[in-house]
Amino acid sequence: MLQGFQRIGETFFDPQIIAGVLPELLRVGLPNTLLLAVIATMIGLALGLVIAAGLLAKQAGLRFGCRVYVDLLRGLPHILTVYLIGQGLPLAGLSIFGANTYAYAAFAIGLIESAYMAEIFRAGFQGVERGQVEAARTLGMTRFQTMIEIILPQGIRRVLPPLTGQFILIIKGTALVYLLGLTAAQRDIFSIAQDNSVNNANLSALTAAGLLYLALTVPLTHAVNAWERRMQRGSRPTPKAVA
Amino acid sequence: MLPVPTPSEKAKPDMGVRFENVSKSFGPVDVLKNVSAHMPSGMTTCIIGPSGSGKSTLLRCTNLLERPEQGRIFIEDAEITAPGVNIDALRVRVGMVFQHFHLFAHLSVIENVALALRKVRQMPKEAAEAKAAEHIAAIGLKGFENRRPAELSGGQQQRVAIARALAMEPKVMLFDEATSALDPELVKGVLGIMRELALGGMTMLVVTHEMRFAREVAGQVIFMDQGKIVETGPPAQLFDAPQTPRLRHFLDQVL
């Protein structure tokens, strides 16, 4: 019994290994993880907005195409998509990022995220009261003006909390870049921990990585929750006042 | 019924709004069945009838929020149902007030009124807001310019919605059950503004359940039932001497 605990302690919580890997995790892994998450988020936001517009388009063909895109990328295991894009593009002769696996990884994760973000945008924009759109059109505003002046400003407010939630998922999702193989300086939190645990035949580095991920995601999660609560209060319809 | 317009009749000032054999269906439901009507300019036409009779659809066709499958609709000198008509330009001439106000929730009162002035009329911000402030004062909400719609009562919101439409200086105003969603004590203020507008000579199409308003303000009343116009005439005739059993039955229910 006691031996079992001891073995667990040695395997997952070796203080020497944790202390040894932590500087590299913080110095190399953390910036790379955050950079990957930010790049993937930017790709996801930009593409997601376009796809969302397609999902809401009047043309049935365009809607269908965007729906297929979203369903594919959300329906496939992320690991598969990262492989298909990260290894597939160069194999197919589309070496758009040269031999830079980091860029392929960011691109692949960005594509995956664009599908999720498109759904977030779509829901947010559809939630804007249909009557306000009609009112704007009635005043002579074009579809585009209505989009910019009415739907976007109200939609953005609605989508900010879920988008931040998605960012948390992206931070964790960046661990998938490990699959594509990275140079020492490009490694993210998970890659460094994984390499270390293989070299030492000990999982404590992964525990250290886990703690680091938690330090990033838990505060963000609570911030989003608080934010959502505040938004809900703010958008609650005010009780009917007397004229 | 008016004859089909010839080019020589263009720009006659008293043409108002005309429907010629307009039909509209939603899927299998025929909402408007071959409707023809004339709503003269400078006059208030009240459209009454049971719910589902097609009143609101008739109104929504007038600015092409719904597109009729058949028939033609004219506003003053222009056929709005003609192919290739610039809908946005047309809508500037037709103001609309909705049952549920539909103020822009993220904008203040003055921004609600000024937005289309800036974006559609392309007025500079200061001029647009000055003009918006005049219209807000005219509907009795001076001092409320910077409130959000959610901070106003239903009656106040509807008055802002009227100001928002009027600021565009429309030729025709459409009111789609503008007081139906209001608490009873707030109805009077909104009807008062509509009455003032009617007396000022605005061409108005008013879908309403307020029979007293129709009787006192309308120059013409249209009674619709099951997608058809059943009776048309001055209010005294429709309310005091209904010609059809359907109108008599309807009036029995609502009066």
B113-125: per-residue pLDDT in tens?
A: 999 999 999 999 9
Q: How confident is the model at residue B252 (pLDDT cuts 50, 70, 90)?
A: very high
pLDDT of residue A58: 85
Predicted structure pTM score:
0.76
Q: How confident is the model at residue B254 (pLDDT cuts 50, 70, 90)?
A: confident
CA B23 to chain centre: 19
CB < 8 Å to A129, chain B: 102, 105
Q: Which residues pair with B206 in a beta bridge?
A: B46, B175
CA-based nearest distance B151→chain A, Å? 7
Q: To the nearest whole percent, how much of chain A has pLDDT over 70?
A: 95
- pLDDT tens for each residue of B80-91: 999 888 888 888
Q: How many domains does chain A have?
A: 1
CB < 8 Å to B89, chain A: 140
Q: Is residue A154 included in any domain, yes or no?
A: yes
- pLDDT tens for each residue of B164-198: 999 999 999 999 999 999 998 899 999 999 999 99
Residues from B in contact with A at Cβ < 8 Å: 63, 65, 88-89, 91-92, 94-96, 98, 100, 102-106, 115-116, 119-120, 150-156, 161, 164-165, 168, 183, 185-186, 189
Q: Is residue A169 included in any domain, yes or no?
A: yes
Task: State which residue of chain A sits closest to B188, comparing Cα positions.
Answer: A243
Q: How confident is the model at residue A233 (pLDDT cuts 50, 70, 90)?
A: low
Task: State which residue of chain A sits closest to B151, comparing Cα positions.
Answer: A238
Q: Is residue A114 included in any domain, yes or no?
A: yes
pLDDT of residue A230: 77
Task: State which residue of chain A sits closest to B117, comparing Cα positions.
Answer: A139
CA-based nearest distance B178→chain A, Å? 13
Contact A132 B103 (CB under 8 A): yes
Q: Is residue A240 included in any domain, yes or no?
A: no
Contact B119 A132 (CB under 8 A): no
Instruction: Report the candidate in A50, A112, A55, A101 with the shortest Cα–Cα distance to residue A78.
Output: A112
Q: How confident is the model at residue A87 (pLDDT cuts 50, 70, 90)?
A: confident
- The CATH number of the domain holding residue A117 is 1.10.3720.10
Contact B104 A136 (CB under 8 A): yes
Q: Is residue A49 included in any domain, yes or no?
A: yes
User: Of B21 and B10, which is predicted with more confidence?
Assistant: B21
Give yes or no for residue A206 having a pLDDT over 70.
Answer: yes
- pLDDT tens for each residue of B204-213: 999 999 999 9
Where is average pLDDT lowest: A67-71, A185-189, B101-105? A185-189
Give yes or no for residue A155 having a pLDDT over 90.
Answer: no
CA-based nearest distance B74→chain A, Å? 17
pLDDT of residue B14: 62
Quote the mean pLDDT of chain B: 90
CA-based nearest distance B105→chain A, Å? 8
Q: How confident is the model at residue A232 (pLDDT cuts 50, 70, 90)?
A: low
Q: Is residue A242 included in any domain, yes or no?
A: no
Q: Is residue A241 included in any domain, yes or no?
A: no
Contact A240 B183 (CB under 8 A): yes
Neighbours of A69 (CB within 10 A): 18
Domain membership of residue A111 as a residue range: 2-235
Contact A140 B88 (CB under 8 A): yes
